[in-house]
Chains A and B, each alone.
Chain A
Amino acid sequence: MKKLRQHITFKSISGIVLLLLVFSVIISVIGNHGFTDALLNQYSDNAFHTARIAAVVVDGDRIDEYWESGGETEAYRSVWESLTRLCNSSGATFVYVIEPDRTDYAHIRFLFSTINQNSHYSLYDFGYLRETTNDEYRVKYRALYEGESDQELVVRDKGYIETDPHITAMIPLKNSGGEVVGILCVQQQLDILLQARNTYLRRVVIAFFSLALFVVIGQSLYLHRALLHPLKQISEEATRFSRENVMADKKLQDTVRSRDEIGQLAASIDHMEEQIDLYIDNITRVTAEKERIGAELSLATRIQTAMLPHVFPPFPDRKEFDIYASMNPAKEIGGDFYDFFLIDDDHLCLVVADVSGKGIPAALFMMASKIILQSCAMLDKSPAEILKKTNEAICSNNQEEMFVTVWVGIMEVSTGKITAANAGHEYPVLQKTPNGKFELIKDKHGFVIGGMPETEYTEYELQMEPGTKIFLYTDGVPEATDEGNNLFGVERMLKALNEATDQTPIEVLQTVRASVDSFVNDAEQFDDLTMLCVEYKGKGSD
């Protein structure tokens, strides 16, 4: 934050100072020009005025006489004194009369030369001959002599090594015949102009620095008060909120108290905090709810699992058969189930079923189906009748059109004969000879339970020899899918089973399970996996 503050202040102030600087330079240049022009005009007017007065003093008709006087005659002295007085009183530096050589105007000769008493320059003697200092003079001398103009001005305001900045006003000196006989020059130093100009520039510089100082201090204070301090408060509040996740006692917009964009930012942060706060509350509530549902689901799963026979061996004192079954729901709770129970001493009822759909609805439907099936089974020893009655019971109260596929078989323990009926369920797999091959029994199918009222079911018989096994399952087994979306399939299931022809029911289930797991690998499973295997050992075996 410290660094940012310096950065913003520096940028803002340096921008303004730069602007001020540019402004000052422009003002100086414009002012300087205006000043120079105005003063030069004034100066040149003065100088020409002085020159015209001087022209009255010097008589053009007597020029030759002056030249011949050698600067000694009374008449010459009188004119010279008048010019000197004029020079002193007009404030001019020099007032002089010259005659250039008329061939190329490269030299001038001084006829009269007077100097201001306050000047530190010295006079040119009478008849002094010197070179014209530059071409501008030469051109202008010629212009005056040839009648092209009757006044010329030379401005040398930039400052020269040999002379200070000055202007020279020049007018032709004529005789009564109108002939140019000399040039009257009035030179005026520009010292006042320079002084004024320097004063002006100094003031601009002082004004610039005062303004810059004012801007630096003022802008720093303003930035601190209007921008940086509120920003710091906002930043601190944001940091605090992200750390504590609790809304502040005092709203940021009340602390910042600004109606500009900073105020809007503060209001936005306040609003964000409120929303996040609400969101956190919401999430907390939803999470709690989710946890509650999760806890209930796991309890429901335990209840559901407990409904199925899950203690193995289930009938420790019955040596005629060996049963093992397992159910692995894909979600926490599933719609598959298996069941087995003794209707009487000689009749073992086996059930494998699969409810349409999954999750809680399927589980609820499964519970109802299981209870109705068992109740019907206890009343009747005919699987077809059991299915028919179960179907009627479920159809009478099935608004959601749920259904369940059921394979039910009743084994006569004394003979190994199974009477079975199939309501839309997977084909059972039977081992016909001890340690022999498992084969799919393509039995006659009836419609699913809960689908249509008044459905009739047909039953059939299977004969189990001692040492053979029957394997029942739900579609979760053949329809287990791998990552490539390929189905495990009945063929792979049979292959796995045939690797386990001599195994006990629990081993058979483990073998099939291992085969499915290695096929599925890491793919997520969508269906329940339910299997039931019974080995018939025969009446005499112990």
Chain B
Amino acid sequence: MLKVNRTVENEKVEISLEGELDTVTAPEFEAELREVISGATSLVLDLEKLEYISSAGLRVLLIAQKAMNQQGEMKVVHVNDSIMDIFEVTGFSEILTIE
């Protein structure tokens, strides 16, 4: 289960994720994200309530990061310890701007 809350203000997009971003929930989130960030110059992902992220979920973050590299900036905020471990193991901590 994944709950996606988003606020879009002009070209600034804020998305907070709650639950699990895995093989089951990633495709839907990917579609939503692609739509939301088109034309956005700022993307903030709040992962405070994200409990789990699988490689399929990481892939969506990578897509977002690459897209935002072209058109603006992306930040990941409130990363909890278990998600941070995954970011570090996979090297995502090096390509994401984590605050």
Binds B, one of A75-83, A140-148, A281-289, A443-451: A443-451
B3 at the interface (CB under 8 A from A): no
Binds A, one of B9-17, B35-43, B56-64, B73-81: B56-64
**Cα distance, A424 to B58, chains bound together (Å):** 11
**Cα distance, A452 to B95, chains bound together (Å):** 8
Kindly identify which residue among B23, B24, B63, B89 contacts A401, using a CB–CB cutoff of 8 Å.
Answer: B63
Contact in complex: A356, B59 (CB < 8 Å): yes
- Main secondary structure, interface of A, reads loop
In the complex with contacts A357-B23, A358-B23, A452-B95, A401-B59 CB distance below 8 A: yes
Interface size class on chain A is 20 to 34
A-B contact count (CB 8 A): 62
A536 at the interface (CB under 8 A from B): no
Interface size class on chain B is 10 to 19
B88 at the interface (CB under 8 A from A): yes
B55 at the interface (CB under 8 A from A): yes
Contact with B along A333-372 (1 / 0, CB 8 A): 0010000000000000000001111100000000000000
Contact in complex: B92, A448 (CB < 8 Å): yes
Min CB distance A484 to B, Å, is 13
Nearest opposing residue in chain B for A451, CB measure? B62
Min CB distance A122 to B, Å, is 112
Considering only residues 403-443 of chain A, those with a C-beta below 8 Å from chain B are 403, 405, 423-427
**Cα distance, A427 to B23, chains bound together (Å):** 22
Contact in complex: A402, B88 (CB < 8 Å): no
Nearest opposing residue in chain B for A487, CB measure? B52
B66 at the interface (CB under 8 A from A): yes
Residues of A within 8 A of B58 (CB): 356, 403, 448
Min CB distance B63 to A, Å, is 5
Contact in complex: B89, A451 (CB < 8 Å): no
A322 at the interface (CB under 8 A from B): no
**Cα distance, A425 to B58, chains bound together (Å):** 13
In the complex with contacts A447-B95, A526-B22, A358-B56 CB distance below 8 A: yes
B90 at the interface (CB under 8 A from A): yes
Kindly identify which residue among A448, A452, A479 contacts B90, using a CB–CB cutoff of 8 Å.
Answer: A448
Contact in complex: A423, B63 (CB < 8 Å): no
Nearest opposing residue in chain B for A359, CB measure? B23
**Cα distance, A423 to B66, chains bound together (Å):** 18
Kindly identify which residue among A357, A427, A445 contacts B55, using a CB–CB cutoff of 8 Å.
Answer: A357
Considering only residues 301-358 of chain A, those with a C-beta below 8 Å from chain B are 335, 354-358
Residues of A within 8 A of B23 (CB): 357-358, 526
**Cα distance, A445 to B66, chains bound together (Å):** 20
Contact in complex: B55, A354 (CB < 8 Å): yes
Min CB distance A170 to B, Å, is 104
Contact in complex: B91, A445 (CB < 8 Å): yes
Contact in complex: B94, A447 (CB < 8 Å): yes
Given contacts A448-B90, A451-B95, list 19 more A-B pairs with CB under 8 A. A335-B55, A354-B55, A356-B55, A403-B55, A403-B58, A405-B55, A423-B91, A424-B90, A424-B91, A426-B89, A445-B88, A445-B91, A447-B90, A447-B94, A448-B91, A451-B91, A452-B66, A526-B22, A527-B54
Some 14 contacts from A to B, beta carbons below 8 A apart, are: A354-B55, A356-B59, A357-B56, A401-B59, A401-B63, A401-B66, A403-B59, A403-B62, A424-B89, A445-B89, A445-B91, A447-B95, A448-B62, A526-B23
